[in-house]
Amino acid sequence: MDRHEMFQSCRRGDVEQVMYLAEQKEVDLNIRDRWDSTPLYYACLCGHLDLVKYLLHRGAVCDASTFDGERCVYGALTNEIRKLLREHKMLTPATMRREAYSEFLRRLFISNNFKDITFHIGGESVSAHKSILSARSTFLKQQFEERWRGRRDVALSHRLVSFPAFCNLLEWLYTGQVKVEVKNLNEFSKLVKFCKLKLLLEELQKAFDKADEFVSMKRGATITVLHLDSVLSQSEVQADLGVLATQAIPSKFRPWVGGMDLPGLPSVEQQFVDLVFCIGEFKFFCHRPVFLARSEYFQVLLEDHFNEATEDEKYHLTTININQVSPAVFSCIVAFVYTNDCDISEDLVSELLHTADMFLLPGLKKLCGKWLAAVIDSENVLDILRTGRLFKLSRLEDLCTEFLAKNIELLWEDPELRKLVESDAQEVLKREETDSIAIIDDIRSHISAAVSNLSDIEEAECRMMVVDRLLEDLGLAA
């Protein structure tokens, strides 16, 4: 429903509703409909300049040299919008922050921290992490185990390998997305085939066909760069890094029943592991660059500002003891750090939420919030609302107040709801008497938003009357 409303709002040019959907409902601004169109495309097509500016500022993807960018430019209703699109730089700070996991992968790719292999090609060099390349490519993993075993420098002189193409390949292996210049497409395709990366080859062909069809149909359109960035490729990155996470977690806490090693699970050489976290008797064998790129908390921890690091006598690896966190919860932390996902259960969610807050992992907090949102009912809605407020989970707060709005006839006499209203009212009195009560405003807003036809009006009026009755009982009526 929220996705559909995002597209409709962009057609109408309703900036306030788009802001609400993006900032409160957390709808992705780069979603696509069945016609492969994005919210930005509709805003451009319908000539809504202010909305286009907002979408670009919030991180909507637009690069005039790519299919999506050229399509927006070609379809833009006004010259002013076309000029804005052509001058827009894709890698603005806002764009780079648009999705935490993508930004984590980008940082991991561009950072030189603890890279343990350097490739030399045609007089130029680029470094990488063996652990990441091994997890992402069976071909490269085999090279590290055989021809390149124990080496920190590798010279590539094969005629199929050019420096730009190899850098493009590394970027895709790290991030699941890459921009390839059309002029380099042939040599990049050959390298992809050589490395036996089936999905990348398929994505490359799809992107080329889509761009070629667009250029042939739209007179004057020019596409010089193919931007590969599909849901499937992103999922593959998460799955491959998930292998590293699974191997890092003690077997007792792995997400399948019995804690047994699955047959055929790819192995990662011990030399690629450079960090051990100890939680009680359990050891988690991890990769320092992954944790450094994921969270400022781990950056400080691994730089040993807390004086926690020692060396494991058996494995001779940097070892850090983690206190006040259970092994089960830390297993979730490790899974999330690598994959942006983890298995959450009722008995873990509270500790996991607090730990995510301590470790400065806002994405994990949101994941916990999403889990809590799925279990909202009349018995727990107020507790979950307080949790949302405490951890600044605006989406969870919004869903709780939406639930209260839909069920206000049943809950208006609840003592806990009345305490919450009175508490919010006290906050108002500390500022200005003319300010409104936050929770009441939110409930009323959701009641109004639920009206989509004439038959809804009577029901909404009844709910508004219940809210007024609640305020009268508490002596807070205007």
Could you read off the pLDDT of 69-123 as tens digits, one per residue?
778 887 888 988 888 887 776 544 444 444 788 889 998 999 888 899 999 998 9
Residue 258: predicted pLDDT:
40
Residue indicated by tokens 């050589």: 194
Residue indicated by tokens 């094969």: 158
Chain centroid, CA 170 distance in Å: 21
The amino acid present at 98, given as its one-letter code, is: R
Instruction: Give just the sign of the alpha carbon dihedral 394, 400, 403, 408.
Output: negative
Residue 97: predicted pLDDT:
45
Residue indicated by tokens 């930005």: 40
CA distance 421 to 49: 40
Per-residue pLDDT band at 233 (split at 50, 70, 90) = confident
Angle value at C-alpha 430, between 425 and 434, nearest 5 degrees: 65
Residue 291 has pLDDT above 90, yes or no: yes
Q: Render 99-110 in DSSP notation, one character per residue.
A: -HHHHHHHHHHH
Per-residue pLDDT band at 449 (split at 50, 70, 90) = confident
**CATH numbers and ranges of domains, the chain:** 2-96 (1.25.40.20), 101-206+215-229 (3.30.710.10), 236-370 (3.30.710.10), 381-473 (no CATH)
Angle value at C-alpha 126, between 120 and 130, nearest 5 degrees: 95
Residue 309: predicted pLDDT:
60
Residue 257 has pLDDT above 50, yes or no: no
Task: Tell which wins on pLDDT, 271 or 431.
Answer: 271
**Residue 403 contacts residue 417 (beta carbons within 8 Å):** no
Residue 311: predicted pLDDT:
63
Mean pLDDT, range 281-310, rounded to an integer: 84
CA distance 147 to 453: 69
Q: Render 280-316 in DSSP notation, one character per residue.
A: TTEEEEE-HHHHHHH-HHHHHHHTTTTS-EEE-TTT-
Task: Tell which wins on pLDDT, 32 or 154.
Answer: 154
Residue 29: predicted pLDDT:
83
Residue 94: predicted pLDDT:
44
Average pLDDT over all residues of the chain: 85
Written as six digits, the tokens of 188 are 């990049």
**Residue 474 contacts residue 424 (beta carbons within 8 Å):** no
Residue 313 has pLDDT above 80, yes or no: no
Residue 356 has pLDDT above 80, yes or no: yes
User: Strand order of the sheet with strand 153-155?
Assistant: 124-128, 117-121, 153-155
Lowest mean pLDDT among 51-55, 231-235, 288-292, 338-342: 231-235
